[in-house]
Structure 1
Amino acid sequence: MSDPGGPGDEPSRGSVATSPESAAPDRGVRRERRGWYFYDWANSAFSTTVLNVFLGPYLTKVAKAAADADGYVHPLGLDIRAKAVYPFALALSVITQVLVLPATGALIDHTGRKRLVLAVSAYVGAFATVGMYFAAGGRYLLGAGLLVVANVALGCSSVAYNSFLPDLAGPDERDAVSSRGWGFGYLGGGLLLALNLVLYLLHDTFGVSQSMAVRLSLASAGLWWGGFTLIPLRRLRDRHRRRTGESGLATVRAGFTQLGVTLRDMRNRPVTMMFLLAFLIYNDGVQTVINLSATYATEELDLGQSVVIAAVLLVQFVAFGGALLLGRLADRYGGKRVVLVSLVAWTLVTMVSYTLQRGSAVQFIVLAAIIGTVLGGTQALSRSLFSHLVPPGRTAEYFGFYEISDKGTSWLGPFVFAIALQLTDSYRSAIVSLVVFFVVGFALLLTVDMSRGTLEAGNALPRRPNGTKAPV
């Protein structure tokens, strides 16, 4: 990959949307931003409808239908509790991402084809999600396999999507733009979930069974994801000239070569490495709590699916306001400080979840509201913070590593949860095991010097409207 401004790149043409000195982005960049927001709107349907609500309990039910008298299924000759199939499948999907996503980022920066990677991976994920409609009866392996494909595809598309952020916002606007994207995504995911809630609760009125309502809801997330992805694909543009004269095999080989260069470069950026390690740990805990909360509620708290859907729906709309609120707080106090406070809240949430009374819908709803308040800001500000630590021209490469634990892609958390469940047969013991992710993540993030890392990466510090440097 050539350096920014080198022979392999186009002239910038405003590729840095708003430098610290610029007053406002031009009309074209504003249009791109609106299109960029829509990919969060599109893929959040998968996170909310599939991962957060329906697939966990449904796949567990399908696996139980295929289990033996002792409650075990036997894929590839292994003895797996039926209730552990979903968390193991989720962990497998992200272990795959650990291998795939960094190489995807390197390939994007080598070719400059962000839009192409976004398109291909988004539609692979969308079609796999639609295919979950057919995971009925005892076909738990089909559901688990499609989960792996869809979640890996989501990660690949998010690498491309996140790498557009430095192109669309300068350092002083990045917290706000990132927060709007996350907030818009929560609205989109929440809207489809609300429609699916109507279908689920009134399935008899629509003449379908409860199981069919779940299958239609899963398929609708794929259709939503694929349909709304057309908007960012029409509006976003690649800013680097695509390389020509390389065969497909040579391009892939060059991508892996570039991956090695990225790894060597990251070793020379200790602040970036420390932030990435902290994020991978604490966000693994965040994603695990979100992805397995529906299963915890139905299997351990004995709550109905309608209560779970209502709670997740509440999280979506509260998270929209929470993302904007925490974004404004970050402008005043700095993104790092706000994220640290949010991690304290996550620790308390995880500990309190252990004590929830069985059958208490009110307690679960209250906890969901607290989660929604800190969820959007934690994720949006983490993405913005990391973008400050990435050297210009290498965004996709670095975001390939970041995405290993971004939206819906935690890996160690589900594995720890599944192991604890396998050994103790207790969802409460499994959920409390996640506290360590927030405690360790907090301790590591506390050591990160964001201002130093931003300058070492060759980026400008953000500024307040009065011209003074803002905390990062």
Structure 2
Amino acid sequence: MSATTGAADRASTSGGREQRAWYFYDWANSAFATTVAGVLFGPYLIAVAKNAAVDDRVGLLWFEVAPGALPAFVVTTSTLISALVLPPLGAVADRTARKKDLLAGFAWAGAAFAALLFFMTGDNWQLGVVSFIAANLCFGAAAVFNDSILPLISTETERDRVSSRGWAMGYAGGGLLLALNFVLVSFHGTFGLEEGLAVRISLLSAAVWWAGFTFIPFRGIKNRPPRDVEHVEGGVFARSFGQLWQTLKEMRHYPTALTFLLAYLFFNDGIQTVISQASVYGVEELGFDTGTVLAVYLLVQFVAVFGALAFGRAAARIGAKRTILFGLVVWMVIVTLALFVPEGALLPFLALGVAIGIVLGGTQALARSYFSLFIPAGKEAEYFSFYHAMERGTSWFGTLVFGIVFTLTGSYRPAIFALIVFFVIGGLLLLRVDTARGIREAGNKVPSVI
């Protein structure tokens, strides 16, 4: 059976029911991405770390860092660990028939670690660091298995639409929970709660949401036997590492996929760093309280629903590559304008939020579906593991640059503007990607619009 025929057969047997169930994992895990990673964890970790700081420094491994830079360095550490762990996990997944089971298992483990953030109080910032790193690692691992299912339940022509709808569902679900947490944190006194307790309850709610809604894809998606894997002797882990080594050697035969991965490494670094540090920028640099930042982030979430759907429609007309490039230009404008937003100026901050929402979901959704076109049959999880080693939980180089620039300058403005280099380099590399050639190299069907 050819790769093209296999894709068509898989789509016809799975149908819309599995696709709808698949959408709900984006709905589930976006609670962690928004309430925890996006809004509350960074500022709350800084507040707790300040209680333990000596001369405005806390000890992180062998270094003394400012509490304000701690979230960026924590995310960097988490992603470096992911870069080592996720590729072997992807190789394991491609040799088993249990992708949805691995998806759910890592999701539930991540939710359990995220729930431990409820106990980060006083000056116990170390508990928050360890819990977040573990939860973020599980978040990335589950995303590998989730995205590797996309090519199994959709044809090449459907891919942009299905991926965009999943991202839209994610922003809707994450936004809904964030709205509830916005009310809880902003009006904590009305509920008889201190602000710190309201934040901790919100962090716990994200863990419960993530775990609960994961049952929908777990029940609604079918496991499928592995396809076209290399013959390697040994047990499942030995065979998986053998396949990983074989894939690493063979990736030179897929130069288009490698070029896109390199482009993605850069422009996604910028996107993920903006996402993870936006709340810190709003609270620490612009002087807004946590409730205001929550409201702006909530606005971003709901605008991103329509942004993801709009980018999916645009890709159907002009192709995913051109649409992503347009999004990268908008990202360059965003980080440039962020350099000049006056302290306490709400309207410019809201305008930045709307702009981020428009391009946020669209660029990420199309990057996922665009990359899936370059993956050879039977290596979906493995290729997406390399993809997510650079993506989920934020990429390490962007947060590292952000933290270093802040440490050197004492300001978040040059730190966020420095991210423009990632969008420029990523865009230039993406211009070099020959879409039709990459699809043919992988043995997939070339859609009518690319």
- Provide the TM-score with structure 2 as the length reference: 0.96
Among 137, 141, 158, the residue aligned to 1:152: 137
Among 318, 321, 325, the residue aligned to 1:340: 325
Q: In the alignment, does 2:35 pair up with 1:41? A: no
Structure 1 residue matching 2:145: 3-state secondary structure: helix
Q: In 2, Cα distance between the equivalents of 1:411 and 1:361? A: 30
Q: Give the match for residue 16 of structure 1.
A: 10
- Equivalent position amino acid for 1:280 in 2: L
Q: In the alignment, does 2:430 pair up with 1:436? A: no
Q: In the alignment, does 2:173 pair up with 1:173? A: no
- Contact kept? 1:48, 1:189, Cα under 8 Å: yes
- The alpha-carbon deviation at position 405 of structure 1 amounts to 2.8
Q: Structure 2: which 5+ residue stretches go unaligned?
A: 228-233
- Equivalent position amino acid for 1:215 in 2: R
Q: In 1, Cα distance between the equivalents of 2:64 and 2:312? A: 46
Q: Structure 1: which 5+ residue stretches go unaligned?
A: 6-10, 18-24, 243-248, 463-468
Q: In the alignment, does 2:224 pair up with 1:255? A: no
Q: In the alignment, does 2:265 pair up with 1:280? A: yes
Q: Give the match for residue 379 of structure 2.
A: 394
Q: In the alignment, does 2:59 pair up with 1:65? A: no
- Equivalent position amino acid for 1:52 in 2: G
Q: Give the match for residue 50 of structure 1.
A: 36
Q: Give the match for residue 31 of structure 1.
A: 17
Among 109, 116, 123, the residue aligned to 1:124: 109
- Contact kept? 1:303, 1:360, Cα under 8 Å: no
My pick for the range that moved more, 406-415 or 204-213, is 406-415
- Equivalent position amino acid for 1:238 in 2: N
- Contact kept? 2:88, 2:241, Cα under 8 Å: yes
- Contact kept? 1:12, 1:239, Cα under 8 Å: no
- Contact kept? 1:15, 1:168, Cα under 8 Å: no
My pick for the range that moved more, 203-212 or 401-410, is 401-410
- The alpha-carbon deviation at position 241 of structure 1 amounts to 5.6
Q: Give the match for residue 383 of structure 1.
A: 368
- Contact kept? 1:343, 1:442, Cα under 8 Å: yes
Structure 2 residue matching 1:79: 3-state secondary structure: strand
Structure 1 residue matching 2:189: 3-state secondary structure: coil
Q: In 2, Cα distance between the equivalents of 1:101 and 1:334? A: 30
Structure 1 residue matching 2:180: 3-state secondary structure: helix
Q: In 1, Cα distance between the equivalents of 2:226 and 2:359? A: 39
Q: In 2, Cα distance between the equivalents of 1:329 and 1:154? A: 29
Cα offsets for 1:393-438 (capped at 9, x unmatched): 1111100001123343321111111111122222112111111000
Q: In 1, Cα distance between the equivalents of 2:278 and 2:60? A: 25
- Contact kept? 1:280, 1:404, Cα under 8 Å: no
Q: In 2, Cα distance between the equivalents of 1:200 and 1:322? A: 27
The share of aligned pairs that are identical, in percent, is 47
- Contact kept? 1:15, 1:239, Cα under 8 Å: no
Q: In 2, Cα distance between the equivalents of 1:419 and 1:103? A: 30
- The alpha-carbon deviation at position 169 of structure 1 amounts to 1.0
Q: In 2, Cα distance between the equivalents of 1:250 and 1:356? A: 57
Q: In 1, Cα distance between the equivalents of 2:241 and 2:257? A: 21
Q: Give the match for residue 313 of structure 2.
A: 328
Once the two structures are superposed, the pairs formed by residues 95-110 of structure 1 within 5 Å of their partners are 95-110=80-95
My pick for the range that moved more, 170-179 or 79-88, is 79-88
- Contact kept? 2:148, 2:380, Cα under 8 Å: yes
My pick for the range that moved more, 400-409 or 348-357, is 400-409
Q: 1:241 to 1:377 in 2, by over 3 A?
A: closer
Q: Give the match for residue 439 of structure 2.
A: 454
Q: In 2, Cα distance between the equivalents of 1:143 and 1:356? A: 31
- Contact kept? 1:41, 1:189, Cα under 8 Å: yes
- The alpha-carbon deviation at position 14 of structure 1 amounts to 6.8
- The alpha-carbon deviation at position 163 of structure 1 amounts to 0.5
- The alpha-carbon deviation at position 77 of structure 1 amounts to 5.0
Residues matched between the structures, number? 444
Cα offsets for 1:184-211 (capped at 9, x unmatched): 0000000000000111111111111000
More helix by share: 2
- Contact kept? 1:314, 1:369, Cα under 8 Å: yes
- Contact kept? 1:403, 1:409, Cα under 8 Å: no
Cα offsets for 1:86-133 (capped at 9, x unmatched): 111011000011001111111100123211211221011100111100
